[in-house]
Amino acid sequence: MKTLRDVRVGDTVKVVRLHGEGAVKRRIMDMGITKGVEVFVRKLAPLGDPVEINVRGYELSLRKADAEMIEVE
C-alpha cells in the first residue's frame, strides 16, 4: 500500500482511502483530504518532518506519522 508518506516532494497524487479512526482521521478529512482529491507534496520541514502539501488550493502541514494513514495512488 502506498501512502502519502512515501510520496516524493514535488509529486502530485490522488487519495484512494483514509485509514485509522477517530480525531486525527476526522481532522484530516475536515481539512479536505478526502477520497479522490489530488494532493501535491510541496516540501519537507527543515528537520525532515512534518510535510507541507497543497490540497484544494491551500497549504496544509501534517506529520509523517499521520500521512501514513492516507492511502494514495
Contact residues for another protein, defined by CB under 8 A: 18, 21-32, 34-35, 37, 43-50, 52, 56-63, 66
Q: Are 14 and 36 a contacting pair, CB within 8 Å?
A: yes
Smallest gap from Cβ 6 to another protein, in A, equals 18
13 or 33: CB nearest another protein: 33
- Half-sphere exposure for 12 (CA within 13 Å, toward CB): 7
**Closest distance between another protein and the C-beta of residue 2, in Å?**
19
Judged by CB, which is closer to another protein: 52, or 68? 52
In the bound state with another protein, the residue whose beta carbon lies nearer, of 13 and 70, is: 70
Residue 31 CA to residue 10 CA, distance in Å, equals 21
Could you give the residue ranges of the DSSP H alpha helices within 1-73?
22-30, 64-67
